[in-house]
Every structure is written in structure tokens, then in C-alpha cells.
Structure 1
Amino acid sequence: MSMLTKEDLIQIRRDLHQIPELALEEFQTHDYLLKEIAQFNQEFLTVRELPKLPTAILVRVEGSNPIKTIGYRADIDALPVTEETGLPFSSNHEGVMHACGHDMHMTVALAVLNYFSEHQPKDNMLFFFQPAEEEKCGGLLAYEMGVFEGEWRPDEFYGLHDSPDLPAGTIGCRMGTLFAGSTEVDVDFIGTSGHAAFPHNANDMVVAASAFIGQIQTIVSRSIDPVRSGVITFGKFEAGTIRNVITGKAHLEGTIRGLEQSMIEELVARIKDVAEGIARSFNCEVVPTFEQGGYLPVENNPELTKNFIDYMEANHGDQFKLTEPAMTGEDFGYLLSKIPGTMFWLGVDDSHPLHSSELSPSEDALEPGVKAIVDFLEYRMQEEA
């Protein structure tokens, strides 16, 4: 099976690692990807760009005897993180880093595309190099633009996410939900400011917001079935300007996570209930706002995922591991809510977690990861549906 060499993969990954860009700003990354793709055999390829989503790239590979179109997605954006790895190929863009491993994702996708450019697939294939996964919901944006229509609509979609917790090159997957859905929640508290010495003439929103936080902690522990999973975290609390002034305003920012969309909806409803109760108790205004965008739970299609797992266990058994669901979010969940498919892990064996300024995925994951994916896709094309 000829494909890009291990040395090629490492060089591509390091090149991409040095040019991380934030959501919808991935212009240098886009140009690098196009340059690499242009060096592949073009006989079976059609490259498509999107004027309304200018950093996205789609590549269609014409099949020799197609009965379906298989999609493969790789996200291309980075995070506003200052790199602290000390690597000789560290980020050249100050304050921005591939701290979630999307440089690895892109490298694997390029290698799989390169293989099928040289070995015409039986089925049609669609590769989607997607901007704005970390924020701004690039998958949702592309779908709502009508990108995946006609010959550009995959019948099934696959994609990976690197996992520092798995040995390098390990493929991990599970039936059901792989990643949680996530919803951003902001809460504004509006009361009356005043002098610290005359609290009876003010309405203190530090106290109201603190009471809100205290009650929120009981939602998961006392309102949710303990065998189901949900998370509510408020990571930002803003209030006040000076020690001797009671503030009439407070602002909270947080996130909700759930393995099922119904769980997220339950958590949203309970937060609204608590907000109403605090507003009555403290005679103030409490305004919660919620934004989910495209970050739905990543719910793997049962039939396609069983097929994927069965193949990996039978043919890459020493490389495959069944995994537990994770509370991290991924906007591939939106695409999987529209098009059946499977997301899986690629182990990158690192002691640092995703989004860490010291994340340094093992490049030993690249070659075995590519081979396992290519093997599966070729097998998948031998099936009738």
C-alpha cells in the first residue's frame, strides 16, 4: 500500500503545527493544504472552494464503480493558546497553537486523500477540510450553505479526534455517543448599586449571583438521574468595581455538557427555573441566554459504527480499543445529526491533555493511523451498501 512516507507525514504535521490559525481565519493553512493537494495525482480529483466560507476545502474523488459516496472530515483551526512545548517547530503565530491536535487531523486526512488519488477508490469519496471547529460551528455553516448537495453529499461521514490518553496509533471507538453536546450559557443579574455602608438601599448582585451558583450545583446532583451524564460549569464571574460599592450588576459565563440532546435540554430548563427563583427571591432581574450552535452530541450511527468496530476488532485488533464517552464537545456532532457516520479516536500518547499549552502528540501515531483508516475505507467500499 503506497502512500506518503512516515517522513512525509512528520514534515507535513510540523509545517502545519507552525502556522495555527483561529476559526475562520485559517488562510495560511488553507493555502498550505491546497499546495499539498495540488501535488497529488489529479486524475480522479475535483477541488472545490467556497466563496462564503473561504478557508474551507472540499475534494471529491471519483470512484471507479460507485454505489455510494463516503465522506471524510478533518478540522483545520487552532486555539488561542500560547505554546509552551519548547519544540523546534513550535507555533510561529503568537498566542495561537494547535493545542487540540488538528495539525494531526489534517495530516492524516491528506495522507488518506493522497492514497486514494493514486489508487482510485471503488466508491466516490468526499474530503472536507473544515474551518471553525473550535468555535463558530464550521460544520453547521457549511451544511446550512447547502454545500452537501447533489454529488457533494456523502452517504456516510467519518472523522477522527486525537486522544492523548490512548497509545500512539490506537484506534478507539464506541457505539452510541462518543462526545457530549455542549451549550454555552451566559447569565446577567440586574439589581441596584449603592454604598457599601447602606446595603438596605441597594440590591447586591454579588449575593444574588452567588446564590444562583450555589443552587446550580444541586441540579446535576439532585435533579438528574444519576445513571445519566450531565455537566454544568460556570468558569467566569464578573461583578463590581471597587471594595466599598455594592454592585447592581453581575455576569456569569459557563457551559453545559450532556451525552444526549435531551439531557442538554433538561439542564437548560432547570437553569431557567433556578434563574426565575433567584429573580423572585432577590427582587432582581436574571437573564440567562443559551447558545448551542452546531455542538450537538456526537452520536455515532449504530449500523455504520458496528461495521467499523467489527472490522477494526477483526483486522486491527491489537490496535483497537473500545472507549468510554467523553464530555468534550465537537461540532462533527451537527454533521452526524444530518448525515449518518462515525467518529473515532486516534491515540497520540501524551501526558498533557487536549487544549494544554504543552500538548505534544506522538508522531508515531500518524503512519499506523493512516493505514488503519485506508484499510477500513477500502473494506467499506467492497460492501453493497
Structure 2
Amino acid sequence: MSEPIQDRLVTVRRNFHRHPEPAWREFYTTARLVEEIRAVGVDELAVGPDAYDPADRMAVPDADLEPWLERARDRGADEDLLERMTGGNTGAVAVLERGEGPSIGLRVDIDGLFIEESTDADHDPVDEGFRSEIDGTMHACGHDAHMTWGLAVLEAIAESDFSGRLVVFFQPAEETGGGGCPMARSEFAADLDYLLAVHVGLDHPTGEVVAGIEKPLAMCHIDATITGTSAHAGKAPNEGANAMHAMGTAIVNTYGIPRHSDGMTRVNVGTAEAGTASNVIAERAHMAAEARGETTELMEYAKRRLERTMKSAATMHGCRAEVDVVSESPRADSDPELQALVSEVANGVDGVERVLPAADFGASEDATFLMERVQNDGGLATYAIVGTDHPTSHHTPTFDVDERSLEHGVDVLVGTIRELEGRHPVPEVAETADAEYAEADE
């Protein structure tokens, strides 16, 4: 029998931190999760294509999967699991069936980022020996902490007298917006009464908890490839159709997309590549761009304008453009009933000094697919934040978490699940309750 996860939160988190894997390449990560889940003992465990329909995935890389699969194999990942994850079908869903009671989902994400972790001696993972072992990749957003929470909560509920159903989604590919959709469309997301999603930090310090985010931005990622005609830049430039020139026009015009009177929108071209030599008219250009909106409808507006801009710029220069929506996610807000309950639970957790009933998110998250699915089916959802002191911002080489927050997260989530069990169905929140929480936080 392995040592309880709740007694080794720091160790579990650091082991995940050493082995970060980016979206749809989380082979070793999934294998380690499965090992821990099996030790806990669950009623159902689905891995990869058994957890979702692979056709529903977004932003799946065309190449680069095999080296990550081999790396996982070299590190001792279970061969049967690797076989099931062929093609990048990573992630898992664990289910506890404990009789009559509410059906509750918990979503945690598992992927890392293409960032080279700092080697500075004062960076704690360096100083304490758990820096990423994979060059160019790190857990720079706290997903190592999220996985630890998911496992510890699963264990705590499995060992309790909980009555109901708990479904824990260990979701791949959050950073690319690719994994939330297949999880949300899966059978495991059906008929959930409640969904909890959670993130560490996000500029909230250790000891602070946000009971539920509001106003996450709807988002889409777009790839655009412009194809023209190559020619000699000196001898016969008139014979070419300049893909690079078309790309430049597309970039300039993208930032000229009109704002919308109904609310905020965002557009950005993040990468742009073209050309082979100074004396060659570029035949091909590629851009990666995104559009965001305060609502799903506003994101759709920005997305349509962005697609049209790319195609029009190509046509203007005698080229053609292929525009693909790689991934996208809707807006979904936390439900006030769950915000109130999480606030109440968090106020009673040791080490939590301040509870915010709500906070604007200001970014995007594909957990909104699961939130939307549950809400559309008549359930309630919230996306909580458990604060942590982090020396630098998320997605930076020196990002780290204050490991005191690991226990805070487990206690908030386990406490919320047990309260949902006891209070199901959760009553509507009275306006006076909202005011009471607001006064308590001032």
C-alpha cells in the first residue's frame, strides 16, 4: 500500500514538475496519474480514447508525438497504457460510485508549456532539486499543483463515507484550448449536478481564495497559410505573387478590425513566418493568430472578421489563404449558488485568510466547455482560484508555487464536495447572502 497522497502532497507535485509534457503529449504524465489512481482504487477509470471521442479533440499536433511517446517509454511508463494513448490520446477520467447522492465533477488540467525553466540558483526548483528534466518544457502555470489536488481529493473522498458520484477529469491540452471540448462531450460529463474547476495563483496570494471567476473571455486560435508564386526578386519580381507581402497586409489589417459596440474584443497575430532567401519572392507564409471576446458572440464576430481579413489580404496580392480554426472555447460564468457555498467552505479552512466571492478572470480557459455543458443540462458550475505566492507571473521561466497552497486547495475542494453532498440540491442564493460575503471581505 503506497503512502497516502495527502501525506505527500509536496512530493507528488514535485514529481509532476520534473516531467512536464505539452498538449496531447502527456504520455508519462497520464501513466503516472493512472498509477496513483489505481492505488487509490476507483470504480471506473477511462484513459485516452475511452475517456472521450478522439475526433472531438482540438489543436492536435501533426507531428512531434513519437519522441514524447518514446521518452515516456524510456522513463518506464506502462506499455499497455502507451499503446492506448497512441496518436496523442492522453488524459484520464476517474469515477467513484458511492450510492445515492449528487453527481459532482472536478476538472484539473495536466499539460505543461514550451518554456525553458530557469537555472538560477535562487529558483526553488533548482535549489531544491526538482527543476524540469525536459529541456524547453516546464510546468509554468501550476498544472502540477492541479494534478496533485485532483489525486488528493479523489483519495480523500474514496476514503470517506461520501454518498453520491464523483467524476474527476484529468484534462489534457488546456494550454492550447484543445482538451476541454472532448471531455465536455464525453459520457462522463452527462447528468452532472455540479462541476468544480480550479486554478492556482493567478496573482492571488497564498491564503486567498476566489470562490468563482466571472467574465472569462471566449477564445479561438487560428492558423493561416498564404500561398503565392515564387519568382526571382531581381530578374522577374513581376512574375511572382508575394506571400510575404500578403502576410504583412494581413497583419496590419488584423489590428484594424473594428471594435464592437456590444463589448470588448481582442485580436492578435502571435507568430509569422515567410520566405527562404533575400532574392526570392516568398511563395509561402504562415501566421498563428487569435481572437477573443467578452462573450461567445463577440468572439465569433472577431473570428469572422479575422478570417475574412486573412483571405482578403491574400486575394489582394494574387495569393490564396487557407484559414483553420485550431481550437476555441466559449464564455461561461460561475454560478452564484456555488460561489456562495465555496466561500463558506473556504472561510473555514486553516491558512485561508481572505475569501473573494468572485473575481473577473480576464483571460480564457477551456474548462468553460465543461461548465457550459453542466449548466445547459440544468446543473451548477464554478471555477475557483486558490491563491499562491508566485515569484513571477504565470508562463515565465521562474514561475513557481508556494507549496502551502497545496493543502489549502485540497481542503477547499474536499469541503465543497462534502457540503454539496449534504445540501443537494443547493438552494438559490439570496441577495442578502451575497452582501454578507462582500462585507466579510472588506
| TM-score (norm. length: structure 2) | 0.74
Q: Deviation of residue 162 (structure 1)?
A: 1.6
Counterpart in 2 of 1:300?
Answer: 333
Pairing of 1:1-385 with structure 2 (within 5 A): 8-40=8-40, 42=41, 45-50=42-47, 52-53=49-50, 54=85, 55-63=90-98, 65-66=100-101, 68-84=102-118, 85=123, 86-87=126-127, 88-135=129-176, 137-149=178-190, 153-174=191-212, 176-177=214-215, 179-197=216-234, 198-219=236-257, 222-225=258-261, 228-292=263-327, 295-308=328-341, 311=344, 315=348, 318-321=353-356, 322-327=358-363, 329-340=364-375, 341-385=381-425
Distance in 2 between residues matched to 1:188 and 1:169, nearest whole Å:
47
Distance in 1 between residues matched to 2:412 and 2:342, nearest whole Å:
12
**Residue aligned with 2:35, SS:** helix
List alignment gaps of at least 5 residues for structure 2.
Answer: 51-84, 376-380, 426-442
Q: Deviation of residue 279 (structure 1)?
A: 4.2
**Residue aligned with 2:308, SS:** helix
Contact kept in structure 2, 1:183 and 1:255, CA below 8 Å: yes
Contact kept in structure 2, 1:62 and 1:121, CA below 8 Å: no
Letter in 1 for 2:107: R
Letter in 2 for 1:189: I
Question: Structure 2 vs 1, CA of residues 166 and 176 (structure 1 numbering), >3 Å: closer, same or farther?
Answer: closer
Moved more, 75-84 or 157-166: 75-84
Distance in 2 between residues matched to 1:70 and 1:111, nearest whole Å:
16
**Residue aligned with 2:329, SS:** coil
**Residue aligned with 1:355, SS:** coil
Distance in 1 between residues matched to 2:353 and 2:331, nearest whole Å:
25
Q: Deviation of residue 310 (structure 1)?
A: 5.0
Question: Structure 2 vs 1, CA of residues 137 and 10 (structure 1 numbering), >3 Å: closer, same or farther?
Answer: same
Letter in 2 for 1:224: H
Distance in 2 between residues matched to 1:145 and 1:378, nearest whole Å:
25
Letter in 1 for 2:242: D
Contact kept in structure 2, 1:6 and 1:366, CA below 8 Å: no
Letter in 2 for 1:49: A
Letter in 1 for 2:240: A
Contact kept in structure 2, 1:47 and 1:57, CA below 8 Å: no
Distance in 1 between residues matched to 2:393 and 2:153, nearest whole Å:
26
Q: Percent identity?
A: 26
How many residue pairs get matched? 369
List alignment gaps of at least 5 residues for structure 1.
Answer: none
**Residue aligned with 2:369, SS:** helix
Moved more, 344-353 or 277-286: 277-286
Distance in 2 between residues matched to 1:289 and 1:174, nearest whole Å:
33
Contact kept in structure 2, 1:238 and 1:250, CA below 8 Å: yes
Distance in 2 between residues matched to 1:262 and 1:368, nearest whole Å:
36
Q: Deviation of residue 361 (structure 1)?
A: 1.1
Contact kept in structure 1, 2:386 and 2:408, CA below 8 Å: no
Q: Deviation of residue 275 (structure 1)?
A: 3.4
Q: Deviation of residue 136 (structure 1)?
A: 7.2
Question: Structure 2 vs 1, CA of residues 27 and 250 (structure 1 numbering), >3 Å: closer, same or farther?
Answer: closer
**Residue aligned with 1:351, SS:** coil
Q: Deviation of residue 49 (structure 1)?
A: 2.4
Distance in 1 between residues matched to 2:209 and 2:4, nearest whole Å:
20
| TM-score (norm. length: structure 1) | 0.84
Letter in 2 for 1:141: P
Contact kept in structure 1, 2:183 and 2:370, CA below 8 Å: no
Question: Structure 2 vs 1, CA of residues 208 and 32 (structure 1 numbering), >3 Å: closer, same or farther?
Answer: closer
Contact kept in structure 2, 1:164 and 1:351, CA below 8 Å: no
**Residue aligned with 1:246, SS:** coil
Letter in 2 for 1:264: M
Contact kept in structure 1, 2:269 and 2:289, CA below 8 Å: yes
Q: Deviation of residue 266 (structure 1)?
A: 0.2
* Structure 1 residues 333-385: Cα deviation after superposition (integer angstroms, max 9, x where no partner): 21122113111212222132222222111111111222222222222222231
Letter in 2 for 1:223: R
* Structure 1 residues 118-145: Cα deviation after superposition (integer angstroms, max 9, x where no partner): 2222332222222333347333334445
* Structure 1 residues 62-101: Cα deviation after superposition (integer angstroms, max 9, x where no partner): 34641x2111122222223322242411122333322221
Q: Deviation of residue 306 (structure 1)?
A: 4.0
Distance in 2 between residues matched to 1:192 and 1:58, nearest whole Å:
48
